[in-house]
Amino acid sequence: MDGVLTRRRFFESLAAYGGVSLAMAGMDALGYGFGSAQAAPPTLEGGGKGTKVVVLGAGLAGLTAAYELTKHGYEVQVLEAREFAGGRCQTARNGFRHVDLNGNDQTCQFDEGLYINHGPWRIPYHHRSTLHYTKLLGVPLESFVNDNDAAYVYFEKGDGPLKGKPVRKGEIAADARGHAAELIAKVAAKGGLDSALTAEDRDLFVAYMVNEGRLSATDLAYTGTEGRGFDVQPGAGVSPGPGKPSTPRSLADVLHSGAWQTLTSVTGYEQQRTMLQPIGGMDQIAKAFERKVGGLIRYSCVVETIRQDAKGVKIGYRDALGQKTEVAADYCICTIPLSVLRGIDLQASKPFKAAMEGVAYAPVNKIGLQMKRRFWEEDHFIYGGHVYNDMPGVGTISLPSSGWQSQKGVLLGYYSFGAEAAKISAKSPADRAAFAVAAGQKVFPEYAENYENAFSFCWHLAEHNLGGWAEWSEDGRKTAYPVLCEPDGRLYLAGEHLSYLGGWQAGAIESAWQQIGKLHARVRAA
């Protein structure tokens, strides 16, 4: 066996030389694909030897850059416009104050222990970069229920008997897929699909359809199934005993309702069923970073000018007292969203500045509603998950994945983006809450009577964000995006906007990893 380079040893040797990321790259190259996400930071071998880097913005991209660069001998300063770190990684709990660009001044009134993640709120299992830091920094996680068959779907724009009626997602799934499987199975069994199937495969295919749609194996009929629930639950003794099965809805009713829009063979890449969240709020990630690099951050410092020449960069900013100050460094990593950066006096090449115009930022709204009691758990047996619906401006109503069976709860009353979000954001916080409560009342009769207070956030009206996330058009991805991914002089941009994981914390982290990797290669070569 000696001298034989087994695959395993090959990967181990790559890891020994170049760290885990090189080993991963090697595995990807050999077809052991791990997906696009990067799993570990660049190793920055040889260190920065005191090279000075100023990082603009203490969101996850900035915090990542500061943490990794400092660890490897760089001298780092971070300028943050807010009085706290995290960027969009925020959590609103009692006392959290937000004044938006329109002067709406809110202080969160939730009871102690309750919160809403009005920014990022869930971590797909394959976002290994985010999970790298939650593990490394000791941020405890819990499950985030991203799919719940017991949760209602509510579609009011369709027609038929299900229009405007809350129906459990599992019922829709069972009936839509059951009826569809029956149709296909019967056609296939009669040879109707023989042009696509061999005779042997036909039997297997029919068996698959029976399994998929929970059909009767004898006549291939769909007549309902236990998983969609019972009219009388089975239980003890003779009564309720076996219970009473539920009756499926007709295919036509399901089709006309529009509720089938919630069904897909597999989730979207970013909407995995296994998701995680930090216990106690997403900002636990920001706080964990802060414990490591908080000393490097100057808070309440708003960047006004970014200048550079062949020797270095100079950043002009206004501090908490309104004093104009300047900081000099060898390089700058700028994580300020492009929506905000466009308004800053920036010294960069013409193509670079033109590229900055090539992206839109999404208006995004969220609202947390505090409820007196968890009626969705107590009366409807729904533990977490989303109420998908087609109400304009609402998008998703989501039930909390924490504090099960406790007295009160904060649910997400809406999560909408684009023009719908722009519209709702014109309302006062009180009117936004009234809008959200009226919407939820259509789904849960207990909604309005249990509502206590609200905290709403509109990302496009947040001064230092001006949007929830970058939205690249196909054109923008081709022309502007590659320009901004490369440094302009001594300026490196980083953030979710410079990734294909847009709007996700993993995008911010991996963009920072990539840019500090480039920066380091340049410093080493100099």
Where on the chain is the footprint of another protein (CB under 8 A)?
101-102, 120, 261-262, 268, 270-271, 339, 342-343, 357, 359-364, 386, 388, 392, 395-396, 415, 417-423, 425-426, 458, 460-461, 463, 466-469, 471, 473, 503-504
CB atoms within 10 A of CB 252: 11
Closest to another protein by CB, 256 or 518: 256
CA–CA separation, 225 and 238 (whole Å) = 21
Closest to another protein by CB, 450 or 465: 465
CB of 344 to another protein, least distance (A): 9
Closest to another protein by CB, 96 or 388: 388
Closest to another protein by CB, 102 or 250: 102
Chain position carrying tokens 């019972």 = 230
- List, in sequence order, every beta strand (DSSP E) within 159-285: 167-168, 230-232, 244-245, 274-278
CB of 168 to another protein, least distance (A): 16
Closest to another protein by CB, 225 or 389: 389
Describe the chain by its helix, strand, coil percentages, rounded to 5.
35, 20, 45
Terminal C-alpha separation, the chain: 44
CB of 418 to another protein, least distance (A): 5
CA–CA separation, 226 and 221 (whole Å) = 15
Sheet of 331-334, strands arranged across: 297-298, 75-79, 52-56, 331-334, 491-493
Task: State phi, psi for 201 to the nearest 5 degrees.
Answer: -70, -30
Closest to another protein by CB, 430 or 448: 430
Per DSSP, what are the bridge partners of residue 326? 316
CB of 504 to another protein, least distance (A): 6
CB of 310 to another protein, least distance (A): 30
Residue 62's nearest CA partner among 77, 83, 82 is 77
Asked if 505 and 123 touch (Cβ cutoff 8 Å), the reply is yes
CB of 340 to another protein, least distance (A): 8
Closest to another protein by CB, 247 or 261: 261
CB of 325 to another protein, least distance (A): 20
